[in-house]
Amino acid sequence: MNEKEPIGVVGVGWVGLVTAACFAELGHPVVAREIVAEKVEALERGEVPIHEPGLPELIERNRERLTFTTELEPLLEPARLIFVCVQTPPTHSGDADLSAVTGASEEIGDAEGKALVMKSTVPVGTGRTIHRGFPGLAYVSCPEFLREGTAVRDFMEPDRVVVGADPGDEWAADAVAGIYEPLGAPIVRTDVSSAEMIKLASNAFLATKISFINEIANVCDEVGADVTEVARGMGMDERIGPKFLNAGLGFGGSCFPKDTQALKMLAGNIGYHFQLLSSVIEVNELQKRRVTSKLTKHLGSLEGKRIALLGLAFKPDTDDMREASSLVLASRLEGEGATVVAYDPVAAGVASALLPTVEMADSAMDALDGVDAAVLVTDWPEFGKLDWAEAAGRMGNPLLVDGRNFLDPEDLFSAGFTYEGIGRPGVEAEKPAKAS
Ligand code: UDX
């Protein structure tokens, strides 16, 4: 076959848009369906509604192979494989809200000779339920492992691709595996339920690694060890590995908090108490507020103090504020009577609606003007390049709590700062001698 397999994508959120653009880059004609008409119109005008490095260029380069539509028909007509990339947010009970997934499945229905390929993160058992409802439609679970900020690279250079299908749907699994084959990554062929669990368990394991190192950091704080050194030494053990061992203000974003909660609820719903995961979630909640005690150690009461937050997004290279540590932290500081001023190079617009009482500054230096302390919340590269000696001069009191252990304590000390990290010994600026 000369022509590449046409692909349908349902849901043009962050996962859907990255997936559609990357499939087009691999040479496939892609029809992507989104029910929000304004989004389709914006995409047709060449506007990319999310901040994801490399994505606008990819969409531009593959315009001819990428079609956006509000209808399902233009997608069902050419494509055998329909990738479902709709949202599965948590409900009030912590279970995943599957209404968008169910809606998409019902619309596609029993389309003979077609396959629904599930990219959305769903509870284990969802695939089998959908398949029972529409036995004529093949079903493949192909979970995504994309990270915000590096999604295009993650798509093009995956560690592995998981393709789960049950007996009878091998043709669809073969076709999905064939699409990913040019990427040269190992392809894990398995059943639908195991594929669903691989996704949930991978995210839960990474979240566990983060909460684990955060607890080690909290103990390091008490015993005078340096968690960055501990993580370096641990990470050299191949069984442990160096990644996801950065202690800090905890994990946020659209996936880890939601997926750990969803797996915990999934287990709970079948009568199993997933104790470890409950602790991972609790440790993460407490971690977001830990810096307040570091601030009070130096400032006493925070009442009337002015505190700067450097970074608001849940991690660098994104404007995503979902479950960002900054939300909890800003509210906590205001709860203690402080005034909060913040700077984020990308997320300030999104953040101002969520944090209406926080002053948004136009630059890091502006945010630091006259403050009693600053907290580095997001490890944006530009904070590494800031002139910290100038910053010390601008601040009323040069105290920095580095919530991501991002900066070198010695550099900050040389710049005149009192520095506190998370689980690493701080340095105290020399106080100018009092005039007698
Ligand atoms: C994550 C998964 O990595 C990805 O595979 C999945 O598809 C979606 O969820 P993402 O949410 O984009 O991706 O962010 P990630 O880079 O994994 O970071 C998640 C959070 O953990 C961030 O808040 C980050 O600051 C925090 N983190 C990460 C740490 O606190 N320490 C670390 O060592 C690593």
What pLDDT digit, counting tens, does each position of 359-401 carry? 999 999 999 999 999 999 999 999 999 999 999 999 999 999 9
pLDDT reported for residue 434: 55
pLDDT reported for residue 289: 87
Alpha-helix runs per DSSP H in 255-363: 256-269, 275-287, 291-299, 325-335, 348-354
Q: Residue 330 and residue 308: Cα distance in Å, rounded?
A: 10
Distance 199 CA to ligand 1 centre (A): 14
Asked if residue 417 has its Cβ within 6 Å of ligand 1, the reply is no
Q: Residue 330 and residue 356: Cα distance in Å, rounded?
A: 11
**What is the band of 432 on the pLDDT scale with cuts at 50, 70, 90?**
low
* Residue 433 confidence (pLDDT) above 70: no
Distance 329 CA to ligand 1 centre (A): 19
- Over the stretch 174-210, which tens digit does the pLDDT of each residue have? 999 999 999 999 999 999 999 999 999 999 999 999 9
* Residue 2 confidence (pLDDT) above 80: no
pLDDT reported for residue 3: 84
Per DSSP, the three-state class of 96 is strand
The residue whose CA is least distant from atom 5 of ligand 1 is: 145
pLDDT reported for residue 51: 85
Distance 343 CA to ligand 1 centre (A): 21
- Over the stretch 346-360, which tens digit does the pLDDT of each residue have? 999 999 999 999 999
Distance 169 CA to ligand 1 centre (A): 33
* Residue 436 confidence (pLDDT) above 50: no
* Residue 435 confidence (pLDDT) above 70: no
Of 327, 309, 298, the C-alpha closest to 364 is: 309
**Cβ pair 360, 352 in contact under 8 A:** yes
Q: Residue 320 and residue 300: Cα distance in Å, rounded?
A: 33
Asked if residue 148 has its Cβ within 6 Å of ligand 1, the reply is yes
Asked if residue 404 has its Cβ within 6 Å of ligand 1, the reply is no
Atom of ligand 1 nearest to the CA of 246: 33
67 has which bridge partners?
Answer: 31
Distance 399 CA to ligand 1 centre (A): 28
Asked if residue 294 has its Cβ within 6 Å of ligand 1, the reply is no
pLDDT reported for residue 1: 47
The conformational region for residue 356 under phi > 0 = left, psi -120 to 50 = alpha, else beta, is: alpha
Asked if residue 245 has its Cβ within 6 Å of ligand 1, the reply is yes
Query: Mutation test of ligand 1: which of 147, 322, 406, 422 has the most ligand atoms closer than 8 Å to its C-beta?
Result: 147
* Residue 178 phi, psi (nearest 5): -65, -35
Atom of ligand 1 nearest to the CA of 243: 33
Distance 296 CA to ligand 1 centre (A): 29
- Over the stretch 54-92, which tens digit does the pLDDT of each residue have? 999 999 999 999 999 999 999 999 999 999 999 998 888
Q: What is the mean pLDDT of residues 283-303?
A: 95
Asked if residue 246 has its Cβ within 6 Å of ligand 1, the reply is yes
Atom of ligand 1 nearest to the CA of 143: 7
* Residue 166 confidence (pLDDT) above 90: yes
- Over the stretch 97-136, which tens digit does the pLDDT of each residue have? 999 999 999 999 888 899 999 999 999 999 999 999 999 9
- Residues annotated as catalytic are 255
Query: Mutation test of ligand 1: which of 85, 255, 312, 405 has the most ligand atoms closer than 8 Å to its C-beta?
Result: 255
Mean pLDDT of the chain: 95
pLDDT reported for residue 373: 98
Asked if residue 210 has its Cβ within 6 Å of ligand 1, the reply is yes
* Residue 95 confidence (pLDDT) above 90: no
- Over the stretch 37-62, which tens digit does the pLDDT of each residue have? 999 999 999 899 888 999 999 999 99
Count CB-CB contacts under 10 A for residue 89: 13
- Could you tell me the pTM of the whole model? 0.94
Asked if residue 120 has its Cβ within 6 Å of ligand 1, the reply is no
- Over the stretch 271-289, which tens digit does the pLDDT of each residue have? 999 999 999 999 999 999 8
pLDDT reported for residue 239: 98
